[in-house]
Amino acid sequence: MIPEKTIVTSETSKSSPLNPSSTRIICHVCNKQFAQYTCPRCNFRYCSLPCYKSHSVQCTESFMRENVVDELRQVRSDDQTKTKMLEILKRFHEEEEEEDDDDIMTDDGEGSSSTIPEETIQKILAGDEISFDDLSLEERKGFQRALASGELSKMIEPWDPWWLSSSAQRISLGAQGKQLVQCVEEEDDKEGTFVSDIPRGPDAPLMSLSKLSSTKPSPLLPLHLVDVLYSYCFTLRIYNGEWQSDSLGAATMVLSVSSVLGQNAQPGTMKEVLSFCLEQTCSSAYKSLGGGLKFGLNLVDDVIHVLSLGNAALVCLLCDLQRLVLGALQEVKSSGRDLKKKLKLADRKVYFMMCWVNEQTPEVWPALESSVRAEKNSIVKLNDYKGFHDVKEKAHTRKGGVVIEEIE
């Protein structure tokens, strides 16, 4: 486990001409201003109230709520979203009245109108939380229908992966992989700036491989890196980018998709790597979450794109994955000894891989990128030739081949 992460600059500060030789600590949130304050809860350094508020979410989010509640909390302050929620609830009532029209007719032949309780409306408008128990029987039925149909998911803003943003192509780290000042982008339609959502790189210098291990790194590490990248992209897309809302669940998903981290496997070919990853993606466990061959091949494209970004982006990705694993370790209960052991091993593997990536020359990634793309094209051609709508791939390590089976 890496010690407490701190960004320190010992260079002359332009903002402090009276004390040019002093060592200054940079704000861990915006990575732009010098930190003047320390969070009393976690000793995180920050420079201003906005950064403290932003940090507070990062500090507590993984210990608070389930993903759905967290999403509702994020959108509840939006008046337009509140209005849309009210319209959906009213529509639920109208549909319920039409279905049960014969049962709710009054003595004079006119249907009694069912309205949303005033108390519920006031809670929504005030931005207060509403539990399932606060809903009437009709509202509960409507909510369950909307959940099953996916109508509620339309209220959640789609997440754009950070590795596809333009700022991902401009990530810069120090010689030892240490985090530099984070990229800040201008917004054309709003005043001010916002900090890019690129994951923070290591706050402390990465160790050299020679200090981590006396043996030479395995030549299979590039293949294992592809396995780990795929599992990360898979998890972030499933979690809509918000793994912090459920670190333990996200880490469990990473372990299930990655044979390297979850099963301590040592795949020896690119075919074996992608076979296992796509097999997991096409499994029944993830079908309901949008899994399948098309989704899996899109994730392979994600891996190819991440590799094209080079060392700095790869280090930031692995650093974010390590934070995910460490967050899960804090949440796992004492009864989950086996899971805790797997998470600790995954933490060490990810950190070693991060140090290895940082020491690689830029020429390594185009070659690995080409290898992934070639194997993907092979899978697509085989699938088109067989004429299957969906496939399940199983790697047979003894024969070194892949058998493609149709999922019924």
Instruction: Specify the pLDDT at position 30.
Output: 85
Per-residue pLDDT tens digits for 24-82: 788 888 888 888 888 766 777 878 877 877 776 555 454 444 554 555 555 444 566 66
Whether pLDDT at 247 is above 70: yes
Instruction: Specify the pLDDT at position 372.
Output: 97
For residue 359 the two structure tokens come to 């020491």
3-state SS of the chain is CCCCCCCEECCCCCCCCCCCCCCEEECCCCCCCECCEECCCCCCEECCHHHHHHHHHHHHHHHCCCHHHHHHHHHCCCHHHHHHHHHHHHHHHHHHHHHCCCCCECCCCCECCCCCCHHHHHHHHHCCCCCHHHCCHHHHHHHHHHHHHCCHHHHCCCCCCHHHCHHHHHCCECCCCCECCCCEEECCCCCCEEECCCCCCCCCCCCCHHHHCCCCCCCCHHHHHHHHHHHHHHHHHHCCCCHHHHHHHHHHHHHHHCHHHHCCCCCCCHHHHHHHHHHHHCCHHHHCCCCCHHHHHHHHHHHHHHHHHCHHHHHHHHHHHHHHHHHHHHHCCCCCHHHHHHHHHHHHHHHHHHHHHHCCCCCHHHHHHHHHHHHHHHHHHHHHHHCCCCEEEEEECCCCEEEEEECC
Instruction: Specify the pLDDT at position 46.
Output: 79
Ranked by mean pLDDT, the top range of 109-113, 254-258, 384-388 is 254-258
Whether pLDDT at 210 is above 60: yes
| DSSP secondary structure of 216-283 | PPPTTHHHHHHHHHHHHHHHHHHTTT-GGGGHHHHHHHHHHH-HHHHS-----SHHHHHHHHHHHHTS
Instruction: Specify the pLDDT at position 337.
Output: 84
Q: Taking Cα atoms as reference points, which of 81, 83, 115 lies closest to residue 97?
A: 115
Host H or E run for residue 331 = helix 311-331
Host H or E run for residue 185 = strand 184-186
Instruction: Specify the pLDDT at position 154.
Output: 67
Per-residue pLDDT tens digits for 70-110: 555 554 445 666 666 667 666 666 665 665 555 444 444 44
Instruction: Specify the pLDDT at position 99.
Output: 56
Instruction: Specify the pLDDT at position 231.
Output: 97
Whether pLDDT at 396 is above 50: no
Instruction: Specify the pLDDT at position 301.
Output: 97
Across 28-134, the runs of DSSP E, i.e. the strands, are 37-38, 45-46
Distance from the Cα of residue 7 to its chain's centroid: 24
Per the model's pLDDT, the better-predicted residue between 388 and 199 turns out to be 199
Instruction: Name the average pLDDT for the chain.
Output: 76
Instruction: Specify the pLDDT at position 360.
Output: 94
Cα end-to-end distance, the chain, whole Å: 44
Whether pLDDT at 249 is above 70: yes
Backbone angles phi, psi at 295, to 5 degrees: -65, -40
Over residues 333-338, mean pLDDT: 78
Over residues 276-291, mean pLDDT: 88
Q: Taking Cα atoms as reference points, which of 206, 240, 224 lies closest to residue 312?
A: 206
Over residues 288-303, mean pLDDT: 90
In percent, how much of the chain has pLDDT > 70? Answer: 63
Ranked by mean pLDDT, the top range of 53-57, 155-159, 207-211, 254-258 is 254-258
pTM score, whole prediction: 0.61
Contact 385, 399 (CB under 8 A): no
Lowest pLDDT segment from 39-53, 71-85, 129-143, 203-217: 71-85
Domain boundaries, the chain: 37-74, 162-182+197-387
Host H or E run for residue 24 = strand 24-25
Whether pLDDT at 143 is above 50: yes
Lowest pLDDT segment from 19-28, 221-230, 377-386: 19-28
Ranked by mean pLDDT, the top range of 176-185, 206-215, 250-259, 375-384 is 250-259
Whether pLDDT at 256 is above 70: yes
Instruction: Specify the pLDDT at position 342.
Output: 94
**Nearest-angstrom CA–CA distance, 353 and 161:** 22
Contact 255, 342 (CB under 8 A): yes
